[in-house]
Amino acid sequence: MIPACVSDYRELARRRLPRLLFDYIDGGSYAEATLRRNVEDFDAIALRQRVLRDVSKVSLETELFGQPMSMPVALAPIGMAGMYARRGEVQAARAAKAAGVPFCLSTVGICDLAEVVGGAGVAPWFQLYMIRDRGYMQTLLETARGLGCPVLVFTVDLPVPGARYRDMRTGLFGGKPPLGAVIGRVLDGLAHPGWLMDVQVSGKPHVFGNLAAAIPEARGMAEFWPWVSRNFDPSITWKDLDWVRQHWDGPIVIKGVLDPDDAREAVRCGADGIVVSNHGGRQLDGVLSGVRALPPIADAVGDELTILMDGGIRSGLDVVKALALGAKGVLLGRAWAWALGARGEAGVTHVLQIIRQEMHMAMALTGCTDVRQAGRELLTA
């Protein structure tokens, strides 16, 4: 298949990846109602077509947190991306750099910060959770600052992990699997020889690079999960952001906001930005989609900090809809993860090209020539 859109890359990733990994990318929590809403609510928004508006020059360029960008799109933090393609975080960061957009590295990426900086030649944004081991958290912040990471994306909607049934069924997080499951995984890996040679054979080490110093005895991902599980911190409050600010002097973006009152709290705490997000439908099922939560949050705090959003973005048209509803930029998640799993760096590069082309077309046909001017007049009632 010649991929023409993001959904084509989803299908290519499904074919290339073992089921355990594809389901980790593709799935959500519980019955996946919010996962579906994230996409369906974008589909329900109608753009307002305008004609004869002189759209011979359309600009997608913008700036976020002092960083020039070729379009208001960044690659969201995705865990275990180095299991989808060999040293996958580095490949994605290179594609983002070439496209002129930021890449955000997950705390639980396979490649660590230093490898991504060395491999891509640019410091990524860094995503971090509040973990119980504050000493190691401080070490991560110092490392990110020392390597020149320009933005800290602080994820706050994971004080406890969501119930992700697909991952339970594949045994991804279930401790030591029974013999039958192990055999099934081996057979599934052998059934995907392209992935097997690229990642399983040639893509080692398979560890969470940013956490390796905390668990030096760990040799595989299964040995990291107990430490990760122990370090979820359900006791965190807004006051803990004071501790983060003491150890980070750059822009802080709070990821996981769905309620206007929480957005106002982020302003009071001195955040530079927020990401309107339900964690891609992977945490609390049944909540609002990101795009439905966005307008009241933009109305409440849009003049006081930078609003980004994620969840359900499958095209450049979706990006324009998010901008029209008050976001200054979006984070792509599954879109780039599927592309990476399907075709590595080349896939991510192509998806970003697709998003750019679709944004340009949507801007031209709604009569908007500057992405920074996109507003609700681009939408119909």
CATH number of domain containing 276: 3.20.20.70
Question: Which residues on adjacent β-strands are paired with residue 308?
Answer: 275, 329
How many structural domains is the chain composed of?
1
Candidates 192, 279, 350, 360; catalytic one: 279
Q: Is 279 a catalytic residue?
A: yes
User: Rounded distance, CA 151 to CA 255, Å?
Assistant: 12
Instruction: Report if residue 284 sits inside a domain.
Output: yes
Residue 345's pLDDT is 98
What is the reported pLDDT for 178? 79
Task: Give a yes or no: residue 359 inside a domain.
Answer: yes
pTM of this prediction exceeds 0.85: yes
Give the whole-angstrom CA distance, residue 98 versus residue 120. 9
Is 110 a member of any domain? yes
Along the 381 residues of the chain, how does pLDDT read in single tens digits? Answer: 899 999 999 999 999 999 999 999 999 999 999 999 999 999 999 999 999 999 999 999 999 999 999 999 999 999 999 999 999 999 999 999 999 999 999 999 999 999 999 999 999 999 999 888 999 999 999 999 999 999 999 999 988 888 999 988 888 876 677 788 788 889 999 999 999 999 999 999 999 999 999 888 877 777 777 778 788 888 999 999 999 999 999 999 999 999 999 999 999 999 999 999 999 999 999 999 999 999 999 999 999 999 999 999 999 999 999 999 999 999 999 999 999 999 999 999 999 999 999 999 999 999 999 999 999 999 997
- Domain contains 379: no
Q: Is residue 374 part of a domain?
A: no
**Residue 376: inside a domain:** no
In this prediction, residue 150 carries a pLDDT of 98
Domain span at residue 100 reads 6-367
Give domain status of residue 308, yes or no. Answer: yes
Question: Within a domain: residue 1?
Answer: no
- Alpha-carbon distance 118 to 2, whole Å? 32
pLDDT at 175: 64
What per-residue confidence (pLDDT) applies to 179?
Answer: 80
